Each structure stands twice: as C-alpha cells, then as structure tokens.
Amino acid sequence: MFDIIDVFTREIVGHHEVLRCRTKEALKALNEAVENRNIDDIVLRTDNGVQFRSREFQTRIRELDISHERTMVNTPEENGYIESFHGTLKRCEVYRKHYRSINHCRNSIAEFIDKYNNRRPHSSVGKIPPAVYHKNILNNSVSGIKFIENLLNKSY
C-alpha cells in the first residue's frame, strides 16, 4: 500500500493498494497526490524503499519539482504522520474486518479513507475532518489565517 498524506491538513491525498511494491505503483500514488493538490514547494518524505530510490521515481519527482527527503534506515518515527495514519487504518478498519476478496479489501479501505478525509474529526486540525479543514482554508470567505486563528482560540 502506498499512501501520501498532506501533513498540514492530515488529508490522505494519494492512495494505491498493491500486491507488489514496485516503482510503478509508487508513481500512481504520487501522481494522484499531485493531481489532488495544486501547490508549490512540495516536500515528499519516504523511507528508503528501492522503489523510491529508482531512477524512474527520481526522474518523476524532478519533473514535478518535488523535494525528496528519505528517512534514516529503520526509523519509522521520522515518517510519523503516515505511520500514525496506518495505525489508525489498522485499528479502525483492517483488524475489524474479514475481507472476502482483494476487491472487497480495496473497496473497504477506499471507503475508510473517504470517511477519514471527509467525515472523521481529527484532533490535529481542530476536531474537524481533514478535507473540511482544507476546504475552509482554501475556499472559505474567511482567510486561511483567520480560520486557523479561530481554531487555535477555541476552547475544548
């Protein structure tokens, strides 16, 4: 499974389930994330998997003008945002289900990600869903900075 998280909004912006972890599959998740976010100065942090070190992957991130950081070997805590998401995915979805087929698994995980992004409150973004947080910052008549100030000033 390849997942890409926007660490500012905590939204999953790229996702691809795979049976094999090859460069081709990693690029599908990357391309989905780029399509979902039209921003400059992207920093992509990955582990040291061979797919992320491949010439094809490196060429693509250069084409997209993405800065690529790789974590130190055996330090998943350096990629804490996505590791936290994967923990939530396992606890709230994978460990609770018995999948009848690969398609059932894919569909169920896609539904979970949709719920995670659009309906599940996230404490790191003001106890609202990540996609709502993103939408409010980008599209709300209130400026993004004012919206963040309002979140920070809320008492819970």
Question: Where do the structural domains in the chain lie, given as residue ranges?
Answer: 2-153
pLDDT of 16 > 60? The answer is yes
* pTM of the model as a whole: 0.83
Contact 146, 136 (CB under 8 A): no
To which CATH superfamily is domain 2-153 assigned?
Ribonuclease H-like superfamily/Ribonuclease H (3.30.420.10)
- In tens, the pLDDT along 30-45 reads 999 998 887 778 899 9
Q: How far apart are the first and last CA of the chain?
A: 35
- Confidence tier at 140 by pLDDT (50, 70, 90): low
Q: Estimate the share of the chain in helix, then strand, then coil, as percent rounded to the nearest 5.
A: 55, 15, 30
Residue 155: per-residue pLDDT: 47
Taking every pair of C-alpha atoms in the chain, what is the biggest distance, in angstroms? Answer: 49
Average pLDDT over residues 47-70: 95
Instruction: State the pLDDT confidence band at 19, using cuts at 50, 70 and 90.
Output: confident
Is pLDDT of 147 > 80?
Answer: no
Q: For 7-33, what is the mean pLDDT? A: 92
**Overall average pLDDT of the 5-29 stretch:** 92
Residue 2: other Cβ atoms inside 10 A: 22
State residue 91's pLDDT score. 98
